[in-house]
């Protein structure tokens, strides 16, 4: 599909900065949306996933995937769920392994290329037999999950999945990881690493051979972490091999349902390689829109309590 024109979205000062867009909503946006149903579901490999089910008495289901070191109760996830419930969608938001209140039982945690749990949650919702249509929405790493899932094995995707949206997607994981290592992004890098280090310590109690603590002292950035833990635990040669196998960009041409990618021009996590212009132009199913503003999973405005531009855009795309 042709590259979509940038939208007229222009936030008020000071939200015309990518860094402020990225940080401001995380600090000051509050979204109250208690889940109607909280459930723990079993995975095919004998582990568990914690999900929140937000109900609108609908025959349409949206599954929402959060980003790196997020969870189902983050404001950006709840804001999207609230917008969709008000627009007539049931929503399931789920926690990646290791991101709920209890550490998972199996040795592995989530990673950028593992789409098995997304499929498990989607099938769990659809197997209830009440939904005629479904949609997938992913933020950042969750967006990579969604797009990779749709393209890596299109025949596996349930036929009820009609549309998908990826927001702030690092379509080229290698380039995005290198960008996170920049000095300008040290706040985000330190935030992620602090959380990941704590999880390694917990997993060390379960699997000391797989999660040795002596590696932690040498980790300075996300690439170091993926070299030390993510890659070897999940069968990759190293971090670069992990990024190249897990990036959704190589799978976009195989996607067979209408899918929208929203990547802001001022996103501090993304490099030019993360904006799949050629892939969108060569596909009849992929639409890429690049707003001038929005940061990484931002798209806010003042007052901060209002519905985000990305939430309104998602509703328009799913309901059209």
Looking up tokens 């690439």 gives: 223
Q: Is pLDDT of 1 > 90?
A: no
Note the pTM of the prediction, 2 decimals. Answer: 0.97
> What count of other Cβ atoms lies within 10 Å of the Cβ of residue 172?
24
Q: What is the pLDDT of residues 13-27, one digit of tens each?
A: 999 999 999 999 999
Mean pLDDT of 122-138: 97
**Which domains are present in the chain?**
18-171+248-319 (3.40.50.1820), 173-246 (no CATH)
In the chain, pLDDT over 90 holds for what percent of residues? 96
pLDDT-based confidence at 306, cuts 50/70/90?
confident
Active site residues: 140, 267, 296
Mean pLDDT of 210-237: 97
Q: What is the pLDDT of residues 145-189, one digit of tens each?
A: 999 999 999 999 999 999 999 999 999 999 999 999 999 999 999
Cβ-based burial of 30 (10 A; exposed 0-12, middle 13-18, buried ≥19): exposed
């Amino acid at each position: 599909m042709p590259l979509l024109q940038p939208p007229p979205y222009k936030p008020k000062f000071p939200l015309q900065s990518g860094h402020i867009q990225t940080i401001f909503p995380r600090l000051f946006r509050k979204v109250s949306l208690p889940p109607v149903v909280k459930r723990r579901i079993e995975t095919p490999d004998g582990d568990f996933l914690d999900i929140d089910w937000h109900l609108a008495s609908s025959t349409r289901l949206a599954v929402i995937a959060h980003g790196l070191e997020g969870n189902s109760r983050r404001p950006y996830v709840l804001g999207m769920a609230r917008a969709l419930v008000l627009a007539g969608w049931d929503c399931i938001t789920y926690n990646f392994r290791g991101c709920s209140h209890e550490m998972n039982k199996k040795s592995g945690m989530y990673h950028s290329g593992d789409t098995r749990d997304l499929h498990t949650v989607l099938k769990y919702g659809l197997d209830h037999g009440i939904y005629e249509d479904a949609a997938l929405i992913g933020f950042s790493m969750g967006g990579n999950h969604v797009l990779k899932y749709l393209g890596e094995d299109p025949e596996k995707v349930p036929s009820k999945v009609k549309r998908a949206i990826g927001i702030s997607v690092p379509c080229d994981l290698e380039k995005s990881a290198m960008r996170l290592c920049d000095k300008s992004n040290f706040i985000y890098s330190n935030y992620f690493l602090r959380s990941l280090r704590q999880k390694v310590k917990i997993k060390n109690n379960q699997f000391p051979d797989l999660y040795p603590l002596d590696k932690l002292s040498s980790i300075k950035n996300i690439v170091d972490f993926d070299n030390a833990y993510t890659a070897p635990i999940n069968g990759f040669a190293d971090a670069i091999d992990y990024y190249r196998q897990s990036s959704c960009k190589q799978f976009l041409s195989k996607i067979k349902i209408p899918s929208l990618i929203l990547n802001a021009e001022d996103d501090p996590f993304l490099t030019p390689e993360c904006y799949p212009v050629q892939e969108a132009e060569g596909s009849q199913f992929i639409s890429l829109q690049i707003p001038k503003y929005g940061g990484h999973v931002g798209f806010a405005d003042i007052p901060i309590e209002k519905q985000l531009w990305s939430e309104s855009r998602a509703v328009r795309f799913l309901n059209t």
